[in-house]
């Protein structure tokens, strides 16, 4: 402690001043004595000069004793002494200390201020000790409650974000931060991170909630996250019951959608398969019969003497045209038969990196010969998926064939095959930079016999969807005309 020049405190509480001063002193001491806080006055040597009634009742009478000996049983000034700080810099200091009284820990708030003579020199100090145990316990409870709330908030697996009226995210739990990739300062518009766009989407639950001040829920497929999200917007109000912003609860429903898609697709494919079986049976026999008859007629026209038949060459040309149309019908019937090729799949653990390596070894050369660059990207955490390797290979052959068709005429044709893990699901995506699919055609891609190709049957993607369904998987197609197409396959990861 810096050396303080000693000033006499004689007469501070003794002697008889003038009558007016005595009255003021008596009133002042009476007020100090009446308050509930313990008040002491010490000189610059830390000797106790005065104690009010509360101090005496709580700590005993110690006038003339050194405070650090009387109260703390120390041989010198206590570490962190507030009064020592006040003597040193002439300012008031306050701190809360824990002390053990009996078997109970109490929290004491100690405020120390210097006392000065008329010339402004420090001659003593006053300490006010207030028992703030109840307040400290309440603060501890509030802190613990806040900490518990923070822990619960961050342990919730649903994404939770708090927004202001201008769509700014002002708070987010850990699930939202990780799923949406929020910046550290969370200075972000919700539509940028939830929807990957520069403005609110159609059917935005936030916009509706701000207008109606009623909660609302909407489902979205977010290509930039490759997830289905169910987003609930809930209004939040200020103390004046005016809407202050929103709370978003986002649920990843990708797995639920996948299972729903499997169930719906399975039902649809069963019905389609039943219809296709009937078509093959009802049309196959007449087509085969017509083919035999036309072949016999053509053979008869080629025998000796048939040259004299009038219009023989025209008849042969007509027969060839009819046989060509029958060949197209046979190709269609073969496609219908192939639809049931993997009716019974054999699901097992397959190594995703090894499957991709083998597939590219089998089919990659053909695409490279066409000038198409193949770029495989497999995330480090992707190891195993549950699938039928034969069926999955057929799926990839179909998707790659479609991608190659879409790349016709591209300057730098490229197909990227990516694999990543999404929870308990392995996502395999095939992305091309081809001409893309017009928005109006996307809704028709899985309709049987719908095709934009001159030689297509419209059954390729239908069969792909069926095989994915049989393997307890699902697929999604996202495309931008003029930019390219991404086909995402969802398969269960190995347990």
Burial label, 17 (beta-carbon count in 10 A; 0-12, 13-18, 19+): exposed
pLDDT at 126: 93
pLDDT at 368: 83
Q: Is 361 found in the same domain as 477?
A: yes
83 CB-near residues (< 8 Å, 6+ apart): 42, 46, 67, 93, 112, 125, 127
CATH number at residue 224: 3.30.450.20
Among residues 252, 285, 305, the one where a domain terminates is: 252
In a domain, 141, yes or no: no
pLDDT tens string 359-368: 888 877 788 8
Q: Is 105 found in the same domain as 30?
A: yes
pLDDT at 335: 55
Q: Is 397 found in the same domain as 472?
A: yes
Tokens of 59: 């700590």
Neighbours of 370 (CB within 10 A): 11
| Dihedral class, residue 371 (left if φ above 0, else alpha if ψ from -120 to 50, else beta) | left
CATH number at residue 403: 3.30.565.10
The Cα angle at residue 211 between residues 210 and 216, in degrees rounded to 5: 65
Residue range of the domain that includes 302: 273-339
What is the spatial distance between Cα 88 and Cα 113, in angstroms, rounded to a whole number? Answer: 11
In a domain, 260, yes or no: no
The Cα angle at residue 340 between residues 334 and 341, in degrees rounded to 5: 80
Please tell me the total count of domains within the chain: 4
Tokens of 148: 């518990």
Tokens of 429: 């995506």
| Dihedral class, residue 412 (left if φ above 0, else alpha if ψ from -120 to 50, else beta) | beta
Residue 247 banded pLDDT, cuts 50, 70, 90: very high
Q: Is 446 found in the same domain as 334?
A: no
Among residues 64, 98, 133, the one where a domain terminates is: 133
What is the spatial distance between Cα 122 and Cα 116, in angstroms, rounded to a whole number? Answer: 4
What is the spatial distance between Cα 326 and Cα 320, in angstroms, rounded to a whole number? Answer: 10
Query: Higher pLDDT residue, 319 or 40?
Result: 40
Among residues 282, 307, 339, the one where a domain terminates is: 339
440 CB-near residues (< 8 Å, 6+ apart): none
Residue 459 has pLDDT above 80, yes or no: no
Residue 343 banded pLDDT, cuts 50, 70, 90: low
Q: Is 484 found in the same domain as 352?
A: yes
Tokens of 144: 């613990």
Query: Higher pLDDT residue, 276 or 241?
Result: 241
Q: Is 299 found in the same domain as 213?
A: no
Q: Give residue for tokens 């090729």.
A: 341
In a domain, 7, yes or no: no
pLDDT tens string 148-162: 888 888 888 899 999
In a domain, 425, yes or no: yes
Q: Is 487 found in the same domain as 358?
A: yes
% of the chain residues with pLDDT over 70:
78
Residue 1 has pLDDT above 80, yes or no: no
Q: Alpha carbon of 101 to those of 48, 61, 62, 217, 360: distances in Å?
A: 21, 17, 18, 57, 78
Region 368-390: mean pLDDT is: 89
Q: Is 334 found in the same domain as 241?
A: no
CA atoms within 13 A on the CB side of 250: 31
Q: Is 43 found in the same domain as 122?
A: yes
In a domain, 72, yes or no: yes
Tokens of 428: 């395999």
pLDDT tens string 191-219: 888 888 888 988 889 999 988 889 999 98
In a domain, 11, yes or no: no
- Per residue in 372-408, is it b (16+ CB within 10 Å) or e — as a string? bebeeebeeebbbbbbbbebbbbbbebbbebbbebbe
Residue 332 has pLDDT above 70, yes or no: no
50 CB-near residues (< 8 Å, 6+ apart): 13, 29, 39, 40, 41, 63
Q: Is 317 found in the same domain as 246?
A: no
What is the spatial distance between Cα 466 and Cα 388, in angstroms, rounded to a whole number? Answer: 13
> Is the C-alpha dihedral spanning 431, 432, 433, 434 positive or negative?
negative
In a domain, 295, yes or no: yes
Region 293-315: mean pLDDT is: 69
* Least confident piece of the model among 90-104, 170-184, 291-305, 447-461: 447-461
Residue 15 banded pLDDT, cuts 50, 70, 90: very low
Q: What is the pTM of this model?
A: 0.44
Region 55-82: mean pLDDT is: 90
Region 479-495: mean pLDDT is: 89
Q: Is 312 found in the same domain as 432?
A: no
What is the spatial distance between Cα 452 and Cα 446, in angstroms, rounded to a whole number? Answer: 13
Q: Is 483 found in the same domain as 405?
A: yes
In a domain, 14, yes or no: no
% of the chain residues with pLDDT over 90:
27
Residue 454 has pLDDT above 50, yes or no: no
pLDDT tens string 169-188: 988 999 998 888 888 766 68
pLDDT at 21: 53
pLDDT at 66: 94
Burial label, 317 (beta-carbon count in 10 A; 0-12, 13-18, 19+): exposed
pLDDT at 351: 94
Region 133-150: mean pLDDT is: 89
76 CB-near residues (< 8 Å, 6+ apart): 68
- The alpha carbon torsion through 345, 351, 353, 357 (nearest 10 deg) reads -60
Residue 336 has pLDDT above 60, yes or no: no
């Amino acid at each position: 402690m810096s050396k303080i020049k000693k000033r006499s405190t004689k007469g501070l509480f003794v002697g008889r001043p003038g009558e007016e001063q005595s009255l003021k002193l008596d009133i002042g001491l009476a007020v100090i004595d009446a308050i509930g806080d313990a008040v002491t006055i010490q000189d610059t040597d830390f000797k106790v000069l005065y104690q009010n009634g509360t101090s005496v009742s709580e700590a005993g009478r110690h006038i003339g004793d050194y405070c650090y000996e009387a109260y703390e049983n120390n041989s010198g000034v206590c570490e962190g002494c507030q009064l020592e700080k006040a003597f040193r810099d002439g300012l008031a200091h306050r701190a809360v200390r824990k002390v053990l009284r009996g078997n109970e820990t109490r929290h004491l708030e100690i405020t120390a201020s210097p006392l000065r003579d008329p010339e402004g020199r420090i001659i003593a100090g006053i300490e006010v000790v207030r028992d703030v145990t109840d307040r400290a316990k309440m603060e501890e409870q509030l802190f613990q409650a806040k900490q518990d709330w923070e822990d619960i908030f961050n342990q919730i697996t649903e994404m939770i974000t708090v927004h202001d009226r201008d769509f700014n995210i002002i708070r987010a739990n850990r699930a939202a931060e990780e799923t949406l990739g929020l910046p550290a300062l969370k200075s972000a518009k919700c539509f940028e991170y939830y929807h990957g766009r520069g403005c609110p989407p159609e059917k935005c639950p936030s916009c509706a909630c701000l207008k109606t001040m009623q909660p609302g829920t909407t489902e979205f497929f977010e290509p930039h996250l490759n997830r289905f999200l169910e987003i609930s917007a809930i209004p939040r109000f200020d103390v004046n019951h005016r809407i202050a912003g929103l709370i978003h609860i986002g649920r990843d429903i990708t797995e639920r959608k996948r299972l729903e898609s499997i169930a719906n697709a399975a039902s649809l494919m069963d019905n389609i398969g039943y219809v296709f079986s009937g078509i093959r049976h009802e049309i196959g026999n007449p087509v085969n019969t017509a083919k035999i008859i036309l072949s016999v007629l053509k053979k008869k026209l080629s025998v000796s003497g048939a040259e004299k038949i009038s219009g023989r060459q025209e008849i042969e040309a007509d027969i060839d045209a009819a046989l060509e149309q029958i060949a197209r019908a046979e190709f269609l019937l073969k496609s219908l038969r192939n639809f049931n090729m993997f009716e019974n799949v054999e699901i097992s653990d397959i190594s995703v990196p090894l499957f991709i390596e083998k597939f590219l070894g089998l089919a990659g050369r053909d695409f490279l010969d066409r000038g198409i660059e193949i770029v495989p990207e497999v995330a480090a955490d992707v190891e195993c998926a549950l699938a039928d390797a034969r069926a999955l290979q057929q799926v990839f052959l179909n998707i790659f064939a479609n991608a190659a068709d879409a790349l016709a005429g591209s300057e730098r044709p490229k197909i990227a095959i990516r694999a990543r893990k999404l929870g308990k699901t392995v996502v395999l995506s095939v992305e091309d930079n081809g001409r893309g699919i017009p928005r109006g055609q996307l809704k028709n891609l899985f309709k049987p016999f719908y095709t934009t190709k001159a030689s297509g049957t419209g059954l390729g993607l239908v069969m792909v969807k069926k095989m994915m369904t049989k393997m307890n998987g699902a697929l999604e197609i996202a495309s931008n005309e003029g930019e390219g197409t991404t086909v995402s396959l969802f398969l269960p990861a190995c347990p």
